Amino acid sequence: MNNNDLATKPHYPILDGLRGVAAIIVVTFHLAEPFSTSNLDKFVNHGYLAVDFFFLLSGFVMGYAYDDRWNKMTIGGFFKRRIIRLQPMVVLGMTMGAIGFYYTDSTLWPLIHTVPLWKMLLVMLVGFTILPVPLSLDIRGWEEMHPLNSVGWSLFFEYIANILYAVWIRKFSKTALTILVVISAIAIAQLSIANGDVSGGWTLNVTQVRIGFTRVMYPFFAGLLLSRIAKPSQIKNAFLWCSLLVAAVLYMPRIGGAEQLWLNGIYDAVCIVFVFPLIVYLGASGLIESQPGKKVCKFLGDISYPLYMVHYPIVYFYVAWVSNNKGMTIGQALPYAAAILVGATVLAYAALKRYDEPLRKWLREKLG
């Protein structure tokens, strides 16, 4: 069966919109980071939880889009569709990071001016595959899996979840999937409470890879389970209330301080295990009756992934600028941060329309 024979299902417009809301908050999180000294004093303190929200959304949409298609689709066909969907923006994001790499020289990254061109290009080529680079290729000095575009780490774990779903877990009964989700919930709660938060997963070492696996397993497969058992109702104004709830969770200040790290760990665990599934359920149940509301959700959904993938190469310049201007306050940097947020959004939309959508269409035609 040709993949083109698989009709595209309608999207959940509110879930698309919520993905865009979370992506915008991620940008504000990264723009505020240079003014913090640790996870304890970040201005957008829980912005890192947006990744866990993305994982849960992805699991829900995966179940909705593909669970009833496996009698018409091969595993190879599934991976072809996922690669066409995800890889063009991965390549663009890594290319942007490579183009800007030598221009982000800063006291934060003293290695940059010593990195030979061949090594940077090798990191870029590996980045195109979304496979993590080893620490021997850490050309920026932040111990990132993807030194040219930091956010690539979450795509790596998303691919792993996709592989597990397609090869194995899609065949699970509801009971077996529930058991997996409960075990994964316990694991993420243990990680969160022990560490004080779930932040991490972007370094290729045992500790960080374990964090990454733990962060993806519960939300992704909880989303899959939710897609199988939820019976959405009809809720008015769901997009507004869900957006406010997402913003409240991600902008919540740190809880407990350095003395009681476990309090913040409980907060993270409760948000991931209970609040995020509730938001997704409400979003899937929501009604959008006005045309402006539909257009807003569509726009936010359209730019969400491109914005996530293109903003960080720009943020590197901003972080270097803040670092090179000692004593700058977040208030002084705010106009520049706002300009970057707007500029990254415009760039994301342009990349979507001029690059991503045309390339995906061409790939579908060529690869079938």
Q: What is the pLDDT of residues 44-82, one digit of tens each?
A: 999 999 999 999 999 999 999 999 999 999 999 999 999
- pLDDT of 51: 98
CB atoms within 10 A of CB 20: 24
- pLDDT of 368: 73
How far, CA to CA in Å, does 165 sit from each of 70, 116, 169?
Answer: 12, 40, 5
- pLDDT of 31: 98
- What's the chain's average pLDDT? 95
Residues 219, 56 contacting (CB under 8 angstroms): yes
- pLDDT of 2: 40
- pLDDT of 120: 98
Q: Which residues of the chain have pLDDT under 70?
A: 1-10
CA–CA distance, 216 with 208 (Å, rounded to integer): 13
- pLDDT of 203: 97
CA–CA distance, 100 with 8 (Å, rounded to integer): 37
- pLDDT of 367: 87
- pLDDT of 5: 43
What residues contact 103, with CB distance under 8 A and at least 6 apart? 317
- pLDDT of 8: 61
Alpha helices (H) along 204-329: 206-229, 238-251, 261-270, 276-285, 291-324
- pLDDT of 232: 83
CA–CA distance, 45 with 35 (Å, rounded to integer): 12
